[in-house]
Structure 1
């Protein structure tokens, strides 16, 4: 990670940080004052998105429904499958809170990043102690992808939208499987809401 000069902030991101057991201790050892931003979304939607991404690279993988359960007839969710495990946000947060106070963590809503990107970016800028430079003028909604694009408020430059590997159409999943997952995540979500002091409305 590069050094930050006076008046600069250095940012770094990796999707696997939040769920990797060894990471909180490593980051704390590097800098106990680090501010941490975690983007979270409905864990059921997140799992389906994860599966969709994997299937785009490996078309012959088993169905989402078969991967979700240890035992389909018994309805036992397979918590060892990473697509399911990652969405157990409260479990991962417990590890982080062993090293960092909640004041140093900001949880950003993935849903609001789509519907109200300027609002969520305002929260991020406040959390980092920055002026609110990024506003609604910097976003343009792309109806084809269903996601906002970044744009420069001045000039006529083309908005920067998500690439081909993002915003894929999700496969149709058995509604009963989706409901089983919602029931499975409900206690994890409830605990996560309590820990963060924020109801993300996934239930």
Structure 2
């Protein structure tokens, strides 16, 4: 074996080791939802601007609140953490109605501020919903925050998945109710 062959072999070994070590960082939510598969996808636009692409993963199609699932958003625009929190609160308030107290909303806002970051094009935020338990939020493949507040987590995911969601077509796609978005 020449010195050049030895260097190439060592380089390949180092590359393989680096890829193996990087794998957990790339795995993000997948170990918690090992049997999850793509259920639906779509884009959210606001006044003609594409803000993010959304995808859902679950062991069942269509999505069911009784089963765990993941909602993953990949942003196409820069938005501040505060903008994300306020927009989420507005929708949670609208969907929750008069029974949702301002004290609860303030507590939920604090939770979201811990979990969210300022986003830029390409930032990926994924939320894992675990029925009756709570959930976890991941930013760019890294666990950011876990929650054991099942009401907060359900209220958050309702923004996209409640029948009264702002974008009924996106809701249908993400829920797996639109055959075209599952490649059928």
Q: TM-score, normalized by length of structure 2? A: 0.24
Tell me which protein shows more strand as a share of its residues.
2
Q: TM-score, normalized by length of structure 1? A: 0.22
